[in-house]
Every structure is written in structure tokens, then in C-alpha cells.
Amino acid sequence: MEDRERFPVLRSALSDEDRSWLNRLVNEWSMLADLAFADLVLWVPEADPEVYNAVAQVRPNTGPTALEDDVVGEEISHDPEHLVTEAFLSGRISHSSENAAYAGVPVDMTAVPLLRDGTPIAVVEMHSNRMGLRAPGALEDAYIEAAEVLVGMVHRHQFPLPGDSRVPWVSPRVGDGMVRVDRNGVITYASPNAVSAFRRLGVLGDLFGDDFEAMIRSLAKGRAPVDSTMAQQLASRRAAEVDLETERANVRMRVLPLIDVDDPAGLVVLCRDTTELRSRERQLVTKDATIREIHHRVKNNLQTVAALLRLQARRISSPEAKAALGDAMQRVAAIAVVHEMLSQAYDDEVAFDDVADRLLRMVADVATTAGKVRIRRVGSFGAVPADVATSLSLVLTELCQNAVEHGLGQGAGEVRVLPHPVNGELVVEVENHGEPLPDGFDLANSTSLGLSIVSTLVDDLGGTFSLRSDEVATVATVRVPLH
């Protein structure tokens, strides 16, 4: 999704640069929601400065929500007393003078205008559920203190920071573990989950008072160097993600420098124990390599079978037997092509154009016609599910061979293969301009082994197969679902 597409319905004066920054904010603001124990709503003004649209919303993972309903799409219209309007027009952070109530639940509200060059472009409204507020303690105090600095950064257009973007499925969240580091690089707080994660890495104690950079260096000693020192991180004002790995565990850290007006205010370090995740990733890599090796061995075995059939055909004098073995050899070779592709890059789908082109060359090379035969693909198969690819390769081989032998006969000519995915299914037409179908031809009563194979395979795939002739060409049409 392009940056400008997240807010496509707005009739506002937002520039592309503003939209891009708001998108980045929404991608990163779950950390603020978790640290502040607050629901966040992003309000963007329309061209009319007294009308605001709610375009994004996030709920905290660390506490109860204050907004049971989704407010995205709602509008504030010409209400000068609304907190959002007050914050936008004044350019200052506004707080509710008294608790509002949503469904009987007291809620604290704060409206944070987002400034660009001193001019508001949008407002983040924060809602904190007072009824379910956690009892104050060291963790809650550390969260709130970091959130207050982060709110100021959002207000001054200093957050999100440049640098590494959050990766939703692997980046640590506040609840996974949080370490607060002051401007001197000393750890002033580490949540219980963070302490547990670093203990798995071999760090003893509760981390309080430790030099954060020295601790990271000790863990990285003798291993791949950490990209930058923590001192450099404080000075750079860039977000970064670092993986720490020891023989015992893996921990992923997201390091975010905090800025108080223009002065460094230390770091917030989110950390996640990814030991099990990395173990599963290694298992998947091993399994993937094993599957590729299996496909490679199947391909080799199929090629051996094809070679044995070729040797047997050379020792048989009967033309019919030679032809039957030749057909069998070609069918085995067609299956081998698919397994060769899967052995190179195993996936749920196969880029079938490469498979098709190899099959078409193979059929053309073994054509027994007296004239020159050309088999040409016009269009793209696209990505074909791996469990469809093998059957489709056999179908394509049989139809092309049938078009050459029975359509072109002993003459020269061209066979065209026209694939085109449409509405969730793949349509493949194989046409030749040779001899038409015999009068009275009925596919259902055909005794051709090749056509019987095609019909059976297509039926197994849940598709349809038809064969027709007109004054111009003979066309075989296959339709198979791609899901």
C-alpha cells in the first residue's frame, strides 16, 4: 500500500509528505498506546478546519480499552468546545478538565496536536480507562514516564524516528519486555519479562544500575558485531532492531532513542525472547531443504525411468510398442520437469511459464512429422498451485503431442498454447490449423489414451475439458480452478 492510500476518502489539504508521516505514525503508535495504557484515535481535518474525521484507532495491549466501539469513520463537525478542536486550533496539548464517561466508565482524555513546522496537521486523541487502571507500581510508573516523553515527541513531529521500521510478526512489543535507559546509558528500570529474557542470555541480576552498552557488548563478544554502539544510538536519534544470540537463547531488541524537546532523554528498549521462534525458523529451513532434496531425488528417479523406457524402446521391433514406450517416456519426463522446478525453489506455487516452455520444446523436439513443427506459448500461466502443476504438465504435454500428431500429421505447421488466468481459474487453449476433427467425433466415446488421460486429470482437478473444430482451427480448451 502506498502511503497516500491509507486515508483515501479525506477532503483535506494534507500533502503527500504529511500522509506519509501519518502512515508511519500509525504503523508505530501501538507502543505509545501500550506505554500510556490508552486508546488512541487519529483525527484529520477536512478542508473545512472545523470538521475532523477519525481515520485510525488502536487499543492498548497492557490495559482495558476505554472505547468499546470502533470510531473510525466518525466525524467531529463544528464543535468548538470539543477537545480535538481545542487542541488543533490552539496547537497545544489539551487535557479534559473532568473525566468523561463512556458506558458509565470514567475516562481521562488528552488531545495531542501533531505539528509540522509549528502548524497542526492532525490530532491524536488519547483515552485512558480510569476504572480498570492498574495499581501504581514501578512498572506502571516507568511506562507512564516513557509515554510522557513519547507524547511530546509525537507533538513536535519527532516520532516516529527514522531507521528500522517495526515488523509486526517479530518486532517486540511493550508487554514482551521493556528496559528504560537514562541519557547516561544506565538502566533505570527493566520489566520482569525483560529481566527474564536477559537472564536466558546469561545476564544475572535485575539489570538496575547496569551500563546498558557494556552489557550488550559483553553478550556480543566473540560473535557478530552489534551494528552500532548504544552511545552512537543515543546520538543518531534513529530506531534500530538488533538480534542478540547466545548458545542459550535469542532475544530481539527494538531500540528507540527518546528526545525531550531537543535533548536526549535516554532509550526505551523493547525486548522479546525469540528463542522458540528462531528454533522453529531453523526447523522450517531444514524442512524446506529436505523437501527440495526429495523433489530433486524424485526428478532423478523419474529421469532414470525415462532412460530405461528409452533403452527398452530401442530393443523392440514392433512400431506400436515403440510408440507406446515413447509416449510413456514423454509422460514421465513431463512429471520430472515439474519436480526439477520444485527442487530449485520449493513453494506453494510454481511459476508455470518456465515449466510450459520446457515441455513445449520437448514435444517439438520429439515430433515425428516430416515438416518443421513450431509450438509457441502466447500469454502467461502465472503462478500455479504446486499440487496442480504436475497434472497440468501432463495435460499440456498430451494436448500438444495430440495436436502435432493428429492435427499437423506429417506436415509442417504451428501449435499455439494460449493460457490466461481469469476469475480464479486458469483457461488454457491449444490450437492448431491442421486437419479438423473427424466427422461425428465425440470426446466422451473417444478411444484415445492421451485424451482419456487428459479428461481424467482435468476432472480430478475439478475442471472441464472440451475439443472442437471449425473452419479455421482445432482447439482443445482446459479450464481448472486455481484455488
Residues in the chain: 483
Averaged pLDDT score across all residues of the chain: 82
- pLDDT tens across 85-143, in order? 999 999 999 988 555 655 567 888 999 999 999 999 999 999 998 776 667 789 999 99
Nearest to 205 by CA among 215, 213, 74: 215
Quick check: 359 pLDDT over 70?
Answer: yes
Q: Give the DSSP H or E segment for 284.
A: helix 275-314
All three cell numbers of 414, joined, read 504451428
Nearest to 457 by CA among 346, 354, 338: 338
Q: Which residue has the higher pLDDT, 439 or 51?
A: 51
All three cell numbers of 424, joined, read 480464479
Query: What's the pLDDT band for 191 if we cut at 50, 70, 90?
Result: very high
- pLDDT tens across 419-445, in order? 988 888 899 999 888 788 888 788 888
Query: What's the pLDDT band for 9 if we cut at 50, 70, 90?
Result: very low
Count the neighbouring beta carbons within 10 Å of the beta carbon of residue 442. 9
All three cell numbers of 176, joined, read 514482551
